[in-house]
Chains A and B, each alone.
Chain A
Amino acid sequence: MVVANNRAEHIILSQKKMGQDAIDKKGWLLAHKWLLLRRLSQLSIIFLFLLGPMFDVWLIKGNMTSSLILDTIPLSDPYVFLQSVFTGHYPELTALTGAIIVGLFYFIVGGRVYCSWVCPINIVTDAADWLRRFLKIKKSLTPSSLNFSRENRYTLLVVSFLLASVTGMLVWELVNPVTMIQREIVFGMGLSWVFIVSIFILDAFISRRAWCGHLCPMGAFYSVLGKFSLIKVNAINRASCNDCMDCYALCPEPQVIKPALKGAGSPLISSANCTNCGRCIDVCAKDVFVISHRFINFKP
């Protein structure tokens, strides 16, 4: 299925600009509505964290691994929190409360909403994907012996927990580019930009969506967390799909679309890998997709 999608992508890539139909029909702004909202969300979260150190306005303190809103509400990243639990550390109530609050939020809105609406690395990998399309790079340079599949991230997720329990340290946090870049933006830049540049090169020139789609264990964790989330993208008007393939070409996880768009069952995109980014909604000239919830009634 993935192979088929890739082939379809290649056909599309060689023809016209993706999403042009949608831009022609809805106008540029509406054809980028969700993308712009996501960028706004990602940047304003970073900005909120910077308000304190830059302007001495402490709405939120700390960084995305653990923070405190208005000196009262604790937030903790459940993935980092779980790593620390796997080391054998008995957590304090504050971190536990924070992890439950954040965990519940993503459990409801969709785990990978973290990836597409919050994570700063997403801006980097989206830019890399844009460059890839702009330069019309179609080849993947990953050797086939590597078996570079989208399941690798789950292996890494398990490995990150195993390493924590074997070494008694938060080992993944030594290299986790997601928490690292965010931390260094807020607390002072070190060498984390090396990771960012590496991820950009990897995604742009070596393999499409290599980091977020194949490797990142944090994304894998949020996939698992949001498996049964309430908010889902829905291919509600799938009858009017004209097979332009733009959604496949721009979706960071294109394999999630087909069962909903072309399957006979529910039009909900039920895969946990869907990031709820809404890009498919943007680029569809036929308004096939909407954001809805998982309990929606539908008539096949």
Chain B
Amino acid sequence: MNNTTDKTSQSRRRFLEKISRAAGGVVMSGMVPGIMLGLYSQQSKSLPADAIRPPGVTNEADFLSACVRCGLCVRDCPYDTLKLSPLGDRVAQGIAPGTPYFNARDIPCEMCEDIPCVKACPTGALDPQLKDIDDAKMGLAVLIDQEACIAFQGLRCEVCYNVCPVRDKAISIEYSHNKRTSKHALFIPIVHSSDCTGCGKCEHACILDEAAIKVLPINLAKGELGKHYRLGWKEKQKAGKSLVTPDIEHQYNLPEGTHYDHEGEGLIQPKKTTPFEKGALDRLNEGRL
């Protein structure tokens, strides 16, 4: 009797020991590396500023869920733009190792019309829905240093504007007053996020030693207005009428006979009548020479 209890308690102890050892094994071999890897993976979740993804990547998280790092996009890139980041990449620090990217200053994307990199991707990490390369959103060009950009010094350059494959849509030139000379205009390149594909040709071509215009991953480059913001004039345009108080035409206290044109003509003087014949004096009175 005693012997059997002993045996059961022994086997129970052995069983418990086995279970706890197994649990310990799972903790050591599973949970510890699991947690470490999980934390490490969070580090690689955002894209470093100097790495741009190939076309067809709109969201870094979606991309990282699909890319198997096979490099077929790299192989099919006719301009050797794309590369697979090696572990400990010095160019794109912190990028998920083995994933494809390009550095626009080195070799920008030439925006091939048949998009061979997207075609080569076996997993759909590069979205096969992308049929028109002009719809690509690899990144966003930002004129990041206005102090260095020579256009802001009043010099003519416009190289970024001229190399842009979607010229006049993605980059336009806006004229503004040159305060220094008071004579000439500044020819300022302005990037429009609606049309910029992030190909990086502007950054590549920038004539400065260090580019003043740079392509950045969209999440770094793009601001976002608070969701609750409404721009009055846009809402008004959408609704076709003012949504706050009804529009009241501004009233000017003007001399009799004088009008004000809101559409742009401005102040309208009444026609002066004169008892005299038209002559030099009249012309002077009318303010003409």
Q: Is the CB of A190 within 8 A of B86?
A: yes
Q: Is the CB of B37 within 8 A of A65?
A: no
Q: Is the CB of A183 within 8 A of B68?
A: no
- In the assembled complex, the Cα of A168 lies from the Cα of B66 at a distance in Å of 9
A74 at the interface (CB under 8 A from B): yes
Given known contacts A159-B30, A180-B98, is B86 in contact with A174 (CB within 8 Å)?
no
- In the assembled complex, the Cα of A48 lies from the Cα of B229 at a distance in Å of 58
Could you give, for residues 80-99 of chain B, a 1 whenever the CB lies within 8 Å of some chain A CB and a 0 otherwise?
Answer: 00011111110000001110
Given known contacts A190-B97, A192-B86, is B30 in contact with A174 (CB within 8 Å)?
no
- In the assembled complex, the Cα of A98 lies from the Cα of B120 at a distance in Å of 13
- In the assembled complex, the Cα of A23 lies from the Cα of B58 at a distance in Å of 60
Could you give, for residues 200-221 of chain A, a 1 whenever the CB lies within 8 Å of some chain B CB and a 0 otherwise?
Answer: 0000000000000001000000
In the complex, how many residues of chain A place their beta carbon closer than 8 angstroms to a beta carbon of chain B? 61
- In the assembled complex, the Cα of A74 lies from the Cα of B67 at a distance in Å of 15
Contacts of A171 in B (CB 8 A): 37-38, 40-41
- Choose one: B40, B66, B71; the contact of A174 (CB below 8 Å): B40
Q: Is the CB of A159 within 8 A of B69?
A: no
Q: Is the CB of B124 within 8 A of A91?
A: yes
Given known contacts A63-B71, A186-B71, is B65 in contact with A95 (CB within 8 Å)?
no
B22 at the interface (CB under 8 A from A): yes
Given known contacts A156-B29, A166-B38, A183-B69, is B22 in contact with A147 (CB within 8 Å)?
yes
- In the assembled complex, the Cα of A169 lies from the Cα of B87 at a distance in Å of 17
- Choose one: B21, B29, B72, B86; the contact of A184 (CB below 8 Å): B86
A264 at the interface (CB under 8 A from B): no
Contacts of B74 in A (CB 8 A): 187
CB neighbors of A among B96-152 (8 A): 96-98, 120-125, 128
- In the assembled complex, the Cα of A190 lies from the Cα of B85 at a distance in Å of 8
- In the assembled complex, the Cα of A152 lies from the Cα of B71 at a distance in Å of 31
> What are 12 A-B pairs at a CB distance below 8 A?
A66-B72, A77-B68, A80-B68, A95-B68, A145-B28, A147-B25, A155-B25, A173-B69, A173-B98, A188-B83, A189-B86, A191-B86
Interfacial residues, chain B to chain A (CB-CB below 8 A): 21-22, 24-26, 28-31, 33-34, 37-38, 40-42, 44-45, 61-62, 64-72, 74-76, 83-89, 96-98, 120-125, 128
Interfacial residues, chain A to chain B (CB-CB below 8 A): 52, 58, 61-63, 65-68, 74, 76-77, 80-81, 84, 87-92, 94-95, 98, 145-149, 151-152, 155-156, 158-159, 162-163, 166-175, 179-180, 183-184, 186-192, 194-195, 215
The list of the 3 closest CB pairs from A to B, nearest first, reads A190-B86, A66-B70, A191-B88
